Amino acid sequence: MKFLFFLFSVVLLEGCTSSRVTENRTLLKEYAYCKCFQNASGDTSYFIQDVSLSIYFDIANYNFSAYDKIDSLSRASVTEIKPIEIADYQNKKAIFFNCFNFYKSKQLDSIVKTLDKKITRSW
């Protein structure tokens, strides 16, 4: 009977830990999306009033090096955003569109998964 209780506890704990890791990954990806938009926009006056990045930093449980990695990756993704040459778009950039594609990318998913070891809070 004790063994069954122990086994049940392990399975339950593993499930809770797994869902929290998934939640942290999602938060880190959302942070990456915000950083992409911030880096691409060039208009820092908006971000003076917006505390979203700080909130993500506080609620996603990663250490500083994880955020540094995401910041670097976000900056790199912004360099790939090129003006659209179709006349109707007047050489403007599709910032939200490209940042959202970055957010959904397999590259970001892969990097975020490697950062699980950078999660600071254990449960």
**pLDDT > 70? residue 69:** yes
In a domain, 42, yes or no: yes
Domains in the chain: how many in total? 1
Give CA angle at 80 (27, 101), nearest 5°. 40
In a domain, 48, yes or no: yes
The CATH number covering residue 41 comes to 1.20.120.1620
In a domain, 35, yes or no: yes
Q: How many residues does the chain have?
A: 123
Burial (CB < 10 A; 0-12, 13-18, 19+), residue 1, is exposed
Banded pLDDT at 79 (limits 50, 70, 90): very high
CB of 109 closer than 8 Å to CB of 71: no
pLDDT tens, residue by residue, 18-48? 788 999 999 999 999 999 999 998 766 777 8
Residues in CB range of 7: below 8 A, 6 or more apart: none
Q: Structural domain of residue 57, as residue ranges?
A: 23-118
The per-residue pLDDT of the chain, averaged, comes to 83
Joined together, the tokens standing for residue 97 give 């569109």
pLDDT of residue 13: 41
pLDDT tens, residue by residue, 80-105? 989 888 888 888 888 899 999 999 99
